[in-house]
Amino acid sequence: MSAKLIDGKAAAAQLRSAIADEVTKFRAATGRAPGLAVVLVGEDPASAVYVRSKGKATIEAGMESFEYKLSADTPEAELLDLLDRLNADPAADGILVQLPLPAHINANKVITRIDPDKDVDGFNPVNAGRLAIGLHGFVPCTPLGCLKLLRAELGDLSGKSAVVIGRSNIVGKPMALLLLGDSCTVTIAHSRTRDLPAVVRQADIVVAAVGRAEMVKGDWLKPGACVIDVGINRLDPAEPGGKGRLVGDVDFASASQVAGAITPVPGGVGPMTIACLIRNTFVSAARRAAFRYGKDL
Ligand code: NAD
């Protein structure tokens, strides 16, 4: 392997510790802790794991975690009522509803109901609009984490050519807007893109957010490119060599021979996503209390 490994775990630990320091000062100044309310509807095991780790990280940062576990058959109106109460609750600086939601609940309606100034996931259309026109708001945690890793690795991103593979509302689109905000020349590739390897080969920065195991190969990359692998795919245990391993959207073995720097899966983008959620929750509390924090979090 010739590429430098981008250690997302270490970067996330550093960010979480910087936030914990700021939270200590916030508590001393305001007499209260920032709080994150997480709502889980149903018993999806993967969602339950995510909610548990978000709650744990919140508490480790010195903040309060409020978990609301609703049964899978909760009527949509009941969930919307809970969100109205949380919007009005001064202890909840951040509110998130774990996705996916059961089929009878309209996710767009739910996301739109969260107060945009408490929407620490950054999924509310108001925050998507703020990002699109360059206003302060909340940016979705996964692309924010990717941007932080890229800045730490490359410094100034201005003028670099970036290809984002994937155009989802939660990763691909906000990622492209963040890179544009840092003055990259941005291409968004997707399932209808023609000759994807040739498009990717132009890029100084590649962000893969597709959900297809090991799709991006080493010979698609410009030598020295910086590769951020957002994908989380579990290989079929029945496949030869599969063993149920977690892999990204990038074929790490071949890509790490060509890239200049690359994130691993696991241990790359994933830990930064949670650290950015903690960051957004602290920033929400700080804005609401007009608390000035020192560092650029
Ligand atoms: P999504 O399914 O909403 O979007 C996938 C995108 O990939 C689509 O825009 C589609 O056009 C594009 N695509 C599909 N097939 C393609 C192909 N053959 N060539 C080019 N583009 C193609 O997924 P998402 O929510 O954006 O997530 C993407 C991946 O990132 C998933 O593996 C998901 O598990 C992972 N993810 C990781 C984190 C994290 O914290 N690390 C967070 C969110 C998502």
pLDDT digits (tens, 9 = 90+) for 140-166: 999 999 999 999 999 999 999 999 999
pLDDT at 242 over 70: no
Above 90 in pLDDT, residue 13? yes
Domain assignment present for 78 = yes
Q: How far is the CA of 69 from the centre of ligand 1 (A)?
A: 27
The answer to whether residue 23 scores a pLDDT higher than 70 is yes
Phi, psi of 114 (to 5 degrees): -70, 135
Using the predicted structure, report yes or no on whether residue 174 has a pLDDT greater than 70: yes
Q: What average pLDDT score do residues 82-90 get?
A: 98
Average pLDDT over residues 29-51: 97
Cα-to-centroid distance, 207 and ligand 1 (Å) = 10
Domain contains 215: yes
Same domain assignment for residues 60 and 168:
no
Structural domain ending residue among the three candidates 53, 81, 116: 116
- Domain hosting 100: range is 31-116
> What count of other Cβ atoms lies within 10 Å of the Cβ of residue 105?
21
Q: Is 210 in the pocket of ligand 1 (CB under 6 A)?
A: yes
The pLDDT of 115-136, averaged and rounded, is 98
- Whether residues 92 and 209 share a domain: the answer is no
Cα 58–chain centre separation = 15
| 39 beta partners | 68, 97
Domain presence at residue 218: yes
Which CATH number covers residue 194?
Answer: 3.40.50.720
Q: In this structure, are 49 and 163 located in the same domain?
A: no
SS3 state of residue 175: helix
Instruction: Note whether 297 and 15 are within 8 A (CB).
Output: yes
Candidates 54, 118, 160, 222; catalytic one: 54
Q: Using CB atoms within 10 A of its CB, is residue 294 exposed (0-12), middle (13-18) or buried (19+)?
A: exposed
Contact 3, 255 (CB under 8 A): yes
Q: Is the confidence at residue 170, as pLDDT, over 80?
A: yes
Q: Which residues is 94 bridged to in the sheet?
A: 36
Residue 292 in any domain: the answer is: no
The whole-model pTM stands at 0.97
Residues 93 and 160 in one domain: no
Longest Cα separation, the chain: 57
Same domain? For 107 and 208 the reply is: no
Is residue 187 within 6 Å of ligand 1 at its C-beta? Answer: no
Question: For residue 76, is it within any domain?
Answer: yes
Residue 209, ligand 1, Cβ within 6 A: yes
The per-residue pLDDT of the chain, averaged, comes to 97
Rounded Cα gap, residues 84 and 199, in angstroms? 45
- Residue 3 φ/ψ, nearest 5 degrees: -70, 150
Annotated catalytic residue, options 119, 121, 204, 251: 121
Rounded mean pLDDT, 196-202: 98
- In 175-252, where do the E strands start and end? 185-189, 205-208, 226-229, 233-234, 246-247
pLDDT of residue 237: 84
Q: Both tokens of residue 294?
A: 């020192």
The count of structural domains within the chain is 2
Residue type, 124: N
Same domain for 170 and 92: no
